[in-house]
Structure 1
Amino acid sequence: MASPIEHEDSCEQEAAEEPKTPKIRDTPEDIKLEAIANTIAFHPSRDILAAGDIDGDLYLFSYSCTEGENRELWSSGHHLKSCRKVLFSADGQKLFSVSKDKAVHILDAEAGKLLTRIPKAHNAPINALLLVDENIVATGDDEGTLKVWDMRRGTSFMDLKQHEDYISDITIDQNKRTLLTASGDGTMGVFNIRRRRFELLSEFQNGDLNSVCIMKRGRKVVCGSGEGKIYIFNWNGFGATSDRFAVQAESVDCIVPITDSILCAASIDGVIRAVSVLPNRVLGSVGQHLGESIEEIARSRDTRFLASCAHDQLIKFWDISSLPDTRVKRPWQQHQPCDENTIV
């Protein structure tokens, strides 16, 4: 017969050997980096996130809501200076990046191996990147030059300087015809990519234009500004804004559409806000990096998560799964019945 002490030791050993049930979180855990990340991007079909930091390093992480399951898949130090923007190709097999070192890189997303490098793609540091399709890439630099590249040849077929300051963001319409740029000079640029020509600049806005996106089924263009305002343009009415409103933030540095009418906006004050566009309203806070300026936000492929990177050297994940079901009433609808997902 076992003594009480032996029996107690046996029970403790059995308890120690019992597998612990993994804790499931609402969102993946924060990812801590060694330097500030300027840019992040979600993989188009897998639970993978890419990041580029101020040291020029690129990272690939797998993420999971199971506690302790986030993993670094690889890191790469190909850029000589700060990485400004990363994007996955549509099939997720390649990772594109641009840098302060004026280079465009294309990496094998699976292995992190450098496939293509254009070392002196611009005469100034590159700040903005857009993948038009699997072969066409647009880049914008700190001096306001836009280039559009045919990556099959490694050469640019558009090289235009219409802005007087840095290009902060680039987007394109669904037909891949009209390319739009936001700039630190306070204007939005309009370029016809099919005819390979510049069309017009918008009127000057107060403050830098930091971001641009297309909403309302292609009928509206939205820009975020350094003065904390959102400017709205009608499609084919790019010369002057049709509407504008303050977001009660120090700035609107980056915006990501969640639906045709709702976007998330990040600010230098560290707050990410959900914003309705037409009707124009701040719906509330999605998350916050306390006292730390946010560099970029990105939406996951299933619109379940929003990721953000900030000066605290953290990548954070936020649950935005309820935002697509949110409906915002216009003023004349205030007295109509509403459900729990309606904001009045």
Structure 2
Amino acid sequence: MSDSDSDSDVSFDENASTTDEEDFEKDQAESTKPTENDDDQDEEEDEIFKKFKKEQQKQRNHPPDIEFEDHIVDLCFHPTENLIAVANIVGDVSVCKYSNEENNVIDTWELHTQACRDIEFDDEGDILYSTSKDRTLMVTDVKTGKLKAFVDDAHEVPINCLQVINEDCIASGDDDGRIRFWDLRNNTKTPIYQTKKHDDFISDMVVDDNKTFLICASGDGTISSIDLKNRSFFLQSEEYDEEFTSLGLFRHGHKLLASTSKGKMYLFNWREFGYHSDEFPGPKQSINKIIPVTQNIVVTGNEDGILRGTHLFPHRQLGIVGQHQLSVECMDICNDGTLIASSSFRNEVKFWNISYFEHFRLTNLKEKKNKKQLTNNLPSSKQTNRKDFFADLGT
């Protein structure tokens, strides 16, 4: 519609006491005059701004992220000091000192010629054990960075994981499912024990505090156990239709928890490794790593990039501990149990303060809310639940 047409539609009251110009000025004044609703809206926006500012100014309770140039394959906390070792895809291991204020790389060791797949400190933190796609096992002095022992061509195929049994003996598992024990006091390439009960890669290994059994998980969908005292094969589970990815011990070593590539967790009674006693459903994505936090709580690292907390006894989903943009590939928990470190394909290590789990009590959490809890952000998460954010704003 043209301007002239618009003007022709306007009618005027001949008895009006004001001119068009005066009416316009009056309307403008009315439109800019503050109203009660405007005041309420301004006050609400101001409160939201203050809330956002408060969130941003929260005191940091965990170390900042650590970024690396190369893809991170594994990480491991030092057992007594605020140190974390980070292994990468080119075979190097970096040792970082962390604090809430800053992180510093204090040393980098060029150990392996190919991807360093697994690293682990001894109980005192004086020794770092590492293994690699290059089929070697290395024992490094943490203080000096010098090699104390070295096993070349330890397996015929790439080694995927290792487990420290005691100060003199370690176990290694390879991509073909073979498991070998090594006495580090003997400068030899001959293992002191070996077995092959699996048809696919060894994904994880754990040993109980009493050094009774070594438990091994495999991509072939089975779990095997080795009697350490008699150094003999003990039992292998039935075959599951999913890969076992990670293992953890609970209830003071009386329960074994195993995660799978289909997002499930299976609970086994100790010494009864043939078939699970309980099953915990979860997200449909693969659970790549599990970390026992308390005797009842596990944190899982998932393919969707989310770290989730789960209460096992009884089973309840607790919510999101943290998040990455890409799949969680490795995790570990620090010596005092207050921090979890995790990494994904973005070449960064993130820290999550989980100290709130220490005094966690399972109350008022009904079964019907279980699925909803999968998306609930716990205090360590870098995101905030909308309902919690606006709770004290009365909206």
TM-score with structure 2 length normalisation?
0.75
Shift of residue 328, structure 1, vs aligned partner? 2.5
Identify, as 1 or 2, the structure richer in strand. 1
Number of the residue aligned with 2:382: none
Give the alignment partner of residue 136 of structure 1, picking from 140, 152, 169. 169
Residues 213 and 225 in structure 2, CA contact (< 8 A), matched pair in contact too: yes
Shift of residue 114, structure 1, vs aligned partner? 2.2
Number of the residue aligned with 1:86: 119
Number of the residue aligned with 2:104: 71
For 1:143 and 1:240, the matched residues in 2 are separated by: 23
Give the alignment partner of residue 324 of structure 1, picking from 351, 355, 358. 358
Number of the residue aligned with 1:164: 199
Number of the residue aligned with 1:56: 91
Shift of residue 194, structure 1, vs aligned partner? 1.2
Give the alignment partner of residue 244 of structure 1, picking from 279, 300, 317. 279
For 1:305 and 1:331, the matched residues in 2 are separated by: 25
Residue by residue over 1:202-251, the C-alpha shift from the partner in whole angstroms, topping out at 9 and shown as x without a partner, is: 01123100011111222211000000000111112211111112122401
For 2:208 and 2:367, the matched residues in 1 are separated by: 31
Number of the residue aligned with 1:18: none
Greater RCO, CA 8 A, separation 6+ = 1
Number of the residue aligned with 1:12: none
Residues 74 and 111 in structure 1, CA contact (< 8 A), matched pair in contact too: no
Percent of pairs with identical residues: 35
Number of the residue aligned with 1:261: 296
Shift of residue 324, structure 1, vs aligned partner? 2.1
Number of the residue aligned with 2:327: 293
Shift of residue 65, structure 1, vs aligned partner? 0.5
Number of the residue aligned with 1:27: 62
Give the alignment partner of residue 126 of structure 1, picking from 138, 142, 159. 159
Shift of residue 152, structure 1, vs aligned partner? 1.1
The AA in structure 1 aligned to 2:160 is: N
Number of the residue aligned with 1:304: 338
Matched, 1:185 2:227: no
For 1:185 and 1:220, the matched residues in 2 are separated by: 22
Change (3 A) 1:306 1:194: same
The AA in structure 2 aligned to 1:31 is: I
Give the alignment partner of residue 210 of structure 2, picking from 175, 198, 202. 175
The AA in structure 1 aligned to 2:180 is: K
Number of the residue aligned with 1:105: 138
For 2:171 and 2:161, the matched residues in 1 are separated by: 8
Shift of residue 74, structure 1, vs aligned partner? 1.0
For 1:111 and 1:309, the matched residues in 2 are separated by: 27
SS in 1 for 2:191: strand
The AA in structure 2 aligned to 1:236 is: R
Report which stretch shifted further, 264-273 or 274-283.
274-283
Number of the residue aligned with 2:185: 152
Superposition pairs of residues 187-266 of structure 1, within 5 angstroms: 187-266=222-301
Residues 103 and 118 in structure 1, CA contact (< 8 A), matched pair in contact too: yes
For 1:330 and 1:143, the matched residues in 2 are separated by: 47
The AA in structure 1 aligned to 2:297 is: I
Residues 149 and 184 in structure 2, CA contact (< 8 A), matched pair in contact too: no
| Unpaired segments ≥5 residues, structure 2 | 1-57, 369-378, 380-395
The AA in structure 1 aligned to 2:287 is: V
Residues 316 and 367 in structure 2, CA contact (< 8 A), matched pair in contact too: no
**Across the two proteins, how many residue pairs are aligned to each other?**
310
Residues 279 and 330 in structure 1, CA contact (< 8 A), matched pair in contact too: no
For 1:281 and 1:206, the matched residues in 2 are separated by: 25
Number of the residue aligned with 1:38: 73
Structure 1 stretches of at least 4 aligned residues deviating more than 6 Å after TM superposition: 330-334
Report which stretch shifted further, 124-133 or 95-104.
124-133
For 1:31 and 1:52, the matched residues in 2 are separated by: 13
For 2:126 and 2:199, the matched residues in 1 are separated by: 35
Residues 67 and 349 in structure 2, CA contact (< 8 A), matched pair in contact too: yes
Shift of residue 175, structure 1, vs aligned partner? 1.2
Larger Rg over CA atoms:
2
Shift of residue 318, structure 1, vs aligned partner? 0.3
For 1:141 and 1:99, the matched residues in 2 are separated by: 10
Shift of residue 130, structure 1, vs aligned partner? 0.9
Shift of residue 252, structure 1, vs aligned partner? 1.0
